[in-house]
Structures are given as C-alpha cells and as structure tokens.
Structure 1
C-alpha cells in the first residue's frame, strides 16, 4: 500500500503544478514592471528613477492634468475669453518651454552653492508653488496677472523638466542600450500620472472650482522641492566666475558646431514642421463639447473622466512602443505613426457633424474612443522623436543641447497653437458660434498628413545605432567638472556597458 501511494505522488504533484501554472504566469506578468524598475534603479541609481517619477509622473502627469482642466474652465468661466483668445493664451503660457536651452545651460555650467542640479529643482518648486497660490487666493485677478502667474507656473515645471532631462540625456549616452527604456520610463510615469490626475480633476473642479484646483497644484511643486533636497549629487569646490564664462562660451560653440551638422539640423527641421503643421484647435473643440445648444454639453466631471480614460490610450502607446516598435528605424516608425495621427483626426469631423448619432453611437462613448486613439497615436508619434533627440546630443552638454531640441519642438507646438487660434478667428468660431468648426477640423487633418512628404529629413538609423558624426560624438566640451563625478545623479554606480 505504501508503494502504491508513492507511485501516485508524482501524478498528484504534476496536477498541482498544472493548476498553479496560470497563477504563476499572472504573477510573473505583474512582476515584470517591478523587475524593470529595479533594473533601472540598479543601473542608474534609485534617485534618477525617483526624480523621473516625481517630475514626469506627479508634476507633469497629475499636476499637468489638474492644470489642463482647471485652466480651461478658468479661462472659460472665470475670465470669460473667446476660444481663439484662449488658444493664443495657452501658447503664451508655454513660452517658458521654448527658452529651455537657457535653463539647460544654467544647469550644465552654472552651479549654485557647488551643486549643478539640486538648486534648480528647489527653485522650480518654489516658483510653481508661489504662482499657484497667487491664482488660488485672488478671486478677481486681472487677466494679465493671471497669465503671468500661469506662465510662472509653467516655468517652474519647465525648469524641473530640463533638469531631469539632462540626466536622461547623460544616461542615454552612457547606456545607449537603455535609451529607449528611459524614454519609456518617462512616458509610463507621465501616462500613469495623467490617468490618475484626469480621473479626479473634473470632480475637484466641480467641488472647489478651478481656483481651488490651482491651490492643490502646490503639492506637486512641493514634491519637486523634495527632489532637490534628496538628490545624491556631489558638491563642486573652487568654481570661479571666469570658469562659468569659459564654460558658457565652450558650450555655445559646441552647440553651434553640432547644430550646423547636416545629420542634426535635418531631423530638427522635420520635428519642428511635423509639430507646427499639426494645428491645435482644441479650445474650439472644448467650448463646443461643453456647449448646451450645439454640442454634447459634457459636465465638468465628464470632461475629467474623458481625459482620464483617454490617458489610457497614451499609456498603451508607450507600452506598444516599448515592446513592439522601439527597435525599428526612425523613418519607418514616424511614417506609420504620422499617417495614423492624421487619419485619427477625421473622427472629430464625424463627431462635430453629429454623424455618430445617426449611427446610434452616444457622444460620450464616441468621444472616449476617439480621444483614446488620438492620445495613443500622438504618444507613438512623440516617443521616437524623443529617442532621436537623445541620440543627437553631444557629450558634455547633454542637458543644454537636449533642452535646445525640446525648445525647437515646443516652438512647433506654439506655432500649432497660434496657428489654430488664427484659424478659429478667421472662421469666426466663438463662444456661441460653431458653424465652421467642421472646416477647421478638415484643415487641421489635411495639414497633419503633409509631414509625410518631409520624411527624407529623418535618418534611416535605428535607436540602437549612433547618429552623430564621429568628429562631434567623440569631441569633448571643455567644461571643467574635475571636482565632480561627470554623471548626473550618480548614474553609473552599476554600469552594464562597462562589464
């Protein structure tokens, strides 16, 4: 009898293993992100990952979601401006992102109290917190002062963004095989933060109003200050003003020599034109969507939930790029993503012409699906350009040059915003008139397709290869940082590439 029981044991064990196999697979899938975060923390130090999560996930993700919904209702209900004016004002508040090279140059060559990164995080957090407090505490704030406060808040986020981008660019050079992973970390943090922020932003706008939402935005600014205090950054000693001047001149010369290279200015020109030609008419769509006469008359909670569900599309875009597209050539990925981005805009035309109701599709469901697709294609279009930008940064001035490339992109976004405002104004689309909104959408969609004719400006290289010419990639900028470890956030504690 004992022998028979022993013979049955292997069979019982195999059955139990088969039953536990699905659970084990689910657990392994859940552990993949954890292992990925641990790998990045191990290779580039935990403070780098913490900084990315705070800046991209909380400040730009959650805070950006609150700012987006709060500012739109603030302009519409408190300041009572026209959609074309709101479109122009949104461009004004983005100006700090255009001067990102200035912030990048300061963080690269002008240390404060011996630190290159920590003071700029602290300064950015204080600027953001003070500007948001001013907006939240003054009920009848003049439009000019409101714009100045919104612009100052945008400057705080931009300075923090430049500082963490310098670390991303540096680590992309020292860990070329992890360049796409770092951009995926940024995109993942931003998408998850936006999902959380948009989920509750509409509720808070309804409960405490847009001014109360501005008050809540001091919390992300405070966390940015915390990043500045917690960074593990070595201190520089005996750094003179003459050295700062020399470093600025050397950095400027290096930037100019890099930018005038044909391998650099051509993709920069494409990135600017692809963004500038994608006209932004979102303010017109927002005014129409919340209008009770011609539009769906979405409530504040509905707008927040729509944005939150749509941010899932952005997250899916980041995941799709990470696991399916990150190794393909830049030109191939940009062709398909730009094409999908242009075609997805046609859904807005169906919505405005109310054709979805003729097919029995409710507005809320249709908008959620359409905006999710738009966010996914936009993220897919944006991520290869970010990876391409990191590949164009010369060693020594990574933060400054990456900021320059991002400012070129933001100039394209500003051009699209002001161009969209001009279209709304010319077509006489106001707070109560939306007759020509369909024509504005059609013009925007046609212009979105035109960058396909400019893809010859993009290199055929893939993200795992070098793009910069050897004479630029191998040159070192004469920036004296001998007193420090030339690594942001002690990122080379464990170097895979050095093994």
Structure 2
C-alpha cells in the first residue's frame, strides 16, 4: 500500500484556519435567536407598538387631547431613542461585569419590566404618563442598543448582513402582527393590562441572553475606560461611510408624517373599532414579514444592495402615497397590505445598509447612531405632519402624497453611496467568509 505523504506546511495552515461550517451555522442560529428575542421584546412591548392603540385611545377619548398634543406625546416618550448613540458608547467602551452585550441586555430588560409594573399604577394625567413612559423607553433602549451592537458585530463577522436584516425586520414587525390585534383588545380594557402585557414581553431577552449569547469576559482597566470612549468617538467621527448612510436614511424618513393623523382618520372618518385598528397593524406587519423573508432568503443573495435600495425606496414612497385613497374599510385593507410590501422593504434595505456601514469595534455606537436618525426623523415628522394638519387644515390625502414624494428625494443619492458597501450581494460576502477548501485537502476541526 502506498504511503500517504505528510501534509505540507501550507496545507496544514489552510486546513487549520478553515472555518468549520457546522460551527458557523450553529453560531449564526444562536445569534439569530438572541437578535429575534431582543428586538421582538423592545419593539412589541413599546408604547409605540402594543401600547399604541391603548395609549392613543386614552389620550384622544379619555384626556381629549388634540392630534398635535398626541403626536407630541409620542415624540417625547421616544426621547431616549434619539440619544441611542450615547448608550452605544457605553456598551462599546464600558463593559458591565466584563461583557459589552450580555450584561446590558439583561440590565435593560429587568429595568423595563419594573417600569411597566409602575405604569399599571400611574395616574391618567398627561404629565405623569409621559414621565413613566420616558423612563420605560430609557430601559428598553439599553437592551435595544446592546442587541443592535451584537447583531451588527455578528453580521460583519459572519458576512451575512442581509440575513440579519431579514431577522431584524421579522422581529420588528411582530409589533404589528401580534401587537396590533392585542393592542386593539387591550384598548377596550383597563389601561393597567397594557402595562402588565409590556412587563411580560420584556422578560423574553433574559433567557435568550443567558443561554445563547456566549461572550468572552473582558478585563476592565478603569484607567483606560475614558480613553476607550474617546477612541470610539474618534472612530465614529472619521467614519465617512457611516455618516453618508445616516444622511441618506434621513432623506428617506424625514417627510411630514401621517401616523397620528391616520389613527384619528380611522376612528373619525372610517369609524373603525380599536379591534379593527389592530387588524390594520396585523395586515401591514404580516406582509412586511413576507417581504423580510423574501429579502433574506432570495433578494439579498441575488441583487446587490444598491439595486435593492433604489427599487425598495421607490416602492416605499409609492406605498406611502397610496394612503391618499384611505377612505373605506376595504381600501384600508388593501393599502395596509401594500404598505407592508413597500415601505417595510425600504426600511429593511436601510437596516442592511446600517449593519454594513457601522465601524468594526464600534458596532453598537454606529448602528445606534443610524437608528437614532431614523427614529428622530419618524417621530419628528409625525409631529410636524400633525401640527401642519391642525394649523393649516391640510387634507389627509395631500399629506399622504407629500409624504411619499419627499421620501423619494433619496433616490438619486443611492448612486453616491460607497461601492465597497453597496455593490456586493450577501452570497458574494459569504463566499469571502467561507473560502472553498482546496481540492484534496481536508478541513481540520481544532475543536
């Protein structure tokens, strides 16, 4: 029998450094679970999600607030989300109990649960509700920022930003699919039940972080903490690609919003019940989840991000313009479904852009900064749109068309984004992450 020649040093090096596909797949599944549970919790439990209909119903029908005051309320309770980058600095540069992700996810979840319990006993006054809701959002931002940083880090390590964008969007749309119908039912009950529901949902990230998020402990050198934070800020300040992505995102999202005006139209013009309003959220969330599945399993592999951004932003703008025809229950069903297909597709492609653009080592801060631009644009635009309708008596249809047209202003700027970021598909990126094994050379699992 012929002797088997010993492996050359080059062969041994290739084999020993070759990634283990099974280990990579397991790592990705665990990361998906952490991201899904974390993002589901911080979106579904939000007072802008499962609490949206109960809280708007309380402000409109119990406290008799105007559209502008209601939109302002939701703008201010989102205050912590606009300053999310500051939370990102802490999670990136200041490890808590030796970890940058796990400990912060757990801390935020526990504080949010306590905040929702406090909401059950909060008096129904504008100022008191506003204060407690702001504090709840602060806690949720801690968990959200740490989860976003972990997601971005894993998306870059595993070269799978499209897949993670899909998981992120599916989790995000749970707010509509589950939160819409449940929120509609909760609106017909005592408001305390909304606080109890939020507390239960915010328990979800705790077991996910404990069992699936494995993170090496970091030895904390107190003398280096401030210098590390400064280094994070310098890195972010010099990240031209990230700032370009943030500015591009602002162009799409900052258009006079109609979210609060839509809520009033549903009740005052179409005479929807809160349960029917919940159904509308379910419809756009369900179709958005279909879009997210298509994005992660096919679109992100087949087309590069530049093409996806262009066509999905166009679809998102048209979906927003379709609200001009929101005049009956049947039309509402069609339009909410179209929104899930169009606007959510644009939102998902932009999430993919965020993950690709965040600087390595500053994942939480970079992703948080870009998401903060999104949140500030959305809630600020809604307040702006509601104020314009109240003060200038603009028609709802006019605002809907304006909203869509202004969002499409971003289209020409797609061609100015860095080719290094947007001119590759997920499949090409994964091929770089898992180079083919040379013929006749076995992969060695070092265990």
What corresponds to 1:197 in structure 2? 179
Contact 1:334 1:381 (C-alpha < 8 Å) held by counterparts: yes
Alignment of 1:167 with 2:144, yes or no, is: no
- Shift in Å at residue 180 of structure 1? 1.0
What corresponds to 1:20 in structure 2? none
- Match for 2:246 among 263, 268, 279? 268
What corresponds to 2:8 in structure 1? none
Contact 1:345 1:445 (C-alpha < 8 Å) held by counterparts: yes
| Cα shift readout 1:280-306 (whole Å, capped 9, x = no counterpart) | 121112112112xxx111111111122
- Shift in Å at residue 45 of structure 1? 5.9
Compared with structure 1, are the counterparts of its residues 192 and 497 closer, same or farther at alpha carbon in structure 2 (3 Å cutoff)? farther
Q: Please, which runs of 5 or more residues in structure 1 have no aligned partner?
A: 1-37, 353-362, 430-435, 467-494
What corresponds to 2:91 in structure 1? 107
- Shift in Å at residue 214 of structure 1? 2.1
- Match for 1:134 among 112, 118, 124? 118
TM (norm. structure 1) is 0.75
Contact 1:266 1:458 (C-alpha < 8 Å) held by counterparts: yes
Alignment of 1:236 with 2:207, yes or no, is: no
Q: Which moved more, 1:128-137 or 1:309-318?
A: 128-137
What corresponds to 1:462 in structure 2? 423
Q: Partners in 1 of 2:277 and 2:24 — Cα distance?
A: 35
Alignment of 1:390 with 2:355, yes or no, is: yes
Aligned partner of residue 65 in structure 1, secondary structure? coil
Q: Partners in 2 of 1:40 and 1:375 — Cα distance?
A: 32
Alignment of 1:311 with 2:285, yes or no, is: yes
What corresponds to 2:262 in structure 1? 285
Contact 1:107 1:163 (C-alpha < 8 Å) held by counterparts: yes
The alignment's C-alpha RMSD in Å is: 2.6
Compared with structure 1, are the counterparts of its residues 288 and 216 closer, same or farther at alpha carbon in structure 2 (3 Å cutoff)? same
- Shift in Å at residue 159 of structure 1? 1.6
- Match for 1:371 among 336, 348, 351? 336
Contact 1:387 1:463 (C-alpha < 8 Å) held by counterparts: no
Q: Partners in 2 of 1:497 and 1:417 — Cα distance?
A: 47
- Shift in Å at residue 162 of structure 1? 1.0
Alignment of 1:212 with 2:193, yes or no, is: yes
TM (norm. structure 2) is 0.83
Contact 1:104 1:162 (C-alpha < 8 Å) held by counterparts: yes
Q: Please, which runs of 5 or more residues in structure 2 have no aligned partner?
A: 1-21, 428-432, 437-442
Q: Partners in 1 of 2:42 and 2:50 — Cα distance?
A: 10
Q: Partners in 2 of 1:211 and 1:428 — Cα distance?
A: 35
Q: Partners in 1 of 2:32 and 2:413 — Cα distance?
A: 36
Compared with structure 1, are the counterparts of its residues 365 and 169 closer, same or farther at alpha carbon in structure 2 (3 Å cutoff)? same
Compared with structure 1, are the counterparts of its residues 299 and 330 closer, same or farther at alpha carbon in structure 2 (3 Å cutoff)? same
